Structure 1
Amino acid sequence: MNVDTSNPPGGASTHEGTVYYFCGPGCRVAFEKDPEGYLSGEKSIEM
């Protein structure tokens, strides 16, 4: 999915020095609760 990084609708979150951009606030909140789970592929955000 492409997200406008200059104005991401879901905001942005920084984890271990890397900035991640989100299409919606729910996705950002879910990521922030368990970033390692999402980055490892163990979890996925349902759309």
Structure 2
Amino acid sequence: FFSKACVEDYVDAAVKQCIQIHLGAADGDILVFMPGQEDIEVTCELIK
């Protein structure tokens, strides 16, 4: 998935998109790239 639209909070946008993919897609994995360790940790906590 790629969005051409700018978002104010990319962590929140990534979490929302992961949840949408998880709820609507078949089995599989989701890979999210984040620019820093803190972003990764926050994203993981929000998804949990």
When normalised by structure 2's length, the TM-score is 0.37
More strand by share: 1
Structure with the bigger RCO (C-alpha within 8 Å, sep 6+) is 2
When normalised by structure 1's length, the TM-score is 0.38
The structure with the largest alpha-carbon Rg is: 2
